[in-house]
Structure 1
C-alpha cells in the first residue's frame, strides 16, 4: 500500500494560501506524531500553497518508493505546512524578504509542539527531515532550538537532507548562528546545483532586502561550506543541472535522499547500458571410426 502523506500544519485551518503562523495542528484525516518511534518530515519552501506543497510531497514519496523498490516506506511521513506564500500570486512571488521571519516563527511553533510529545514508552522520536528552499531555513532554525537542550525536546534528528537550501552559507560556518543546530544532527546531506537561477539571482537580492545578509551565497548553490557536510551532491538529470524546482520531482534527488535516510535503494541498470555478450560457440567432439575387434574365446 502506498505511503500516505500526513499533515503537520502551522497554517491557519482551512486556509489554502497565506495567513498567519499558528500552533501545530493535524487535520482530522491525518495521523499525529505522538507515540511514533520514527517518522519523516517534508518541509516545503517559499511561495507554495497548501495544495502545491501536498502535490510535491506526494510526488517525492512516489520517488522514494520507486528508488527503494518497495510499495511503502518503513516510517510514517508528515508534510509540514507553513504559510510561506500569499493568496495573491503576484504579491506572493515578491514576498520572499518577509517570509524569512515567517520561517523562523514556524520553526518556533514546531519546536513548541515537539517539546511535548514522546515516542513509544516515553522514548525519543527519531526524525528524518527532507527540506527544500526556504524550508531549509525553517529546518535549521528548528535544529538550533533543539540543540539548545531545552528540557522536554524528546527528539533525535537522525538525518537531514537539504535540497536547494535558501540559507546563507555564513549562517552555518564555524561562527555562524545556525552552526550549533547543524552539528547536533546525526547526519546532514546537501543537494545543490549551480544551475539554480533562483538561488543565483533572486536569493541574494531577497536576503539583502529582508535584512538577513548582504548579497550572500546560498548553501544550495555550491554546497558550501566545503567539507562541512556528511554528503554534498551536485544534482543533474541526463546531463542537465537541476533548477530550483527540480528537486521534489527528481528521481535523482529521491534516490539520494532515500539512501541517506537509510532506505535500501534498488540497483537498476538501464537496458541501454547493459553490455551484450554473444554466447561462445559450443564445443564439439571430433568423431572417428573405430574398427570392430573380436575378443578371443
Structure 2
C-alpha cells in the first residue's frame, strides 16, 4: 500500500506526464473495476478490499495475457474512488437545452418542417374552402345589392312605365287597361319598398299582358280524319247527365297552330297545349255532329275568334265556358 501513496505524490511533484497508452490502460482498469467490484465483499475493510481488488485485477489481466504494472492498477483503484473517469451530465439549463437542440437539429428540423407544412396546408384549405368562398359570396351579395339599388333608382321605374304604355297602346277593351293600371300600381309599390324582385315581376306581367293583347287567332273545330270532333262526359255529381265538348285548336292568321295555356275544369290543372275541349250545349254538339256527318268535314268550323287588342275570345256559337285537356 506504500506504493499507492507514493505514486500520486510523485505525480504531484512534477513527474513527466503519463503516456497515452498508460492513460488508456488506467481507464480500462477503472472500467474493469466497475464490473468486477461486486465480486469483492462489501463487508471487508477499505485496505483489505483494495488488496482484494488489486489481486483480482492481476488475475484478470494475467488470464488475458496482459502484464499490467501494479502502479497502473493502483492508479485505477484510486481513480475509481475519485470517480476520475466518470461522466457526470451537466445540470438542466439553457446551455444544455441549446446543446441538445443542436445535437438533434436534424430531427427537430424535420419535425418543424412537417409542422410548418401541416399549418400551411390547414391555412390553405381554410382559405380556399371557407374564407375565399365567403369573400366571394359577400362580394356577390354586395354587387347584387348595388345592382338592385341602381335598378330601383333608374332601370326598373323606366321599364315599368314603358311596359304600361306599350300595353295601353295595344289595349282596345277597358278590362285590359284596368289590368294594366293595376299591374303598374303593384310595380310602383314594390319600387317604393325597395323590392326589386316585385318590380321585375310587375314588368314581366305587363309583357305577358301585352303579348296576350297582340295575339290573334281563330278557334277552329278539329275535323281531320281519325281525330274526334267532339266528346261527352258523365259529370261526377250528376250521373244521369252529360257534358258535351267540342275539340278545338287556335289557328293564327298565317295558318300556324298555336299552343296556349288551358286549365281543365276536371282537375284544375293548367297546361300549354295545341288542342283542348270546350264545353258546349247539347244542341251545339248535335249541330256540329250533323255537319260532319254529311261529308266528314265540319263546314261551320269557326267556334270563336280572338282579335288583337282584346283578351277574350268572341264565340260564334253558344258555349258553357268549361274546358278539358284529355279525352
TM-score using structure 1 length: 0.17
More helix by share: 2
- Which structure is higher in RCO with an 8 Å CA cutoff and minimum separation 6? 1
TM-score using structure 2 length: 0.16
Decide which structure has the larger Cα Rg and report it: 2
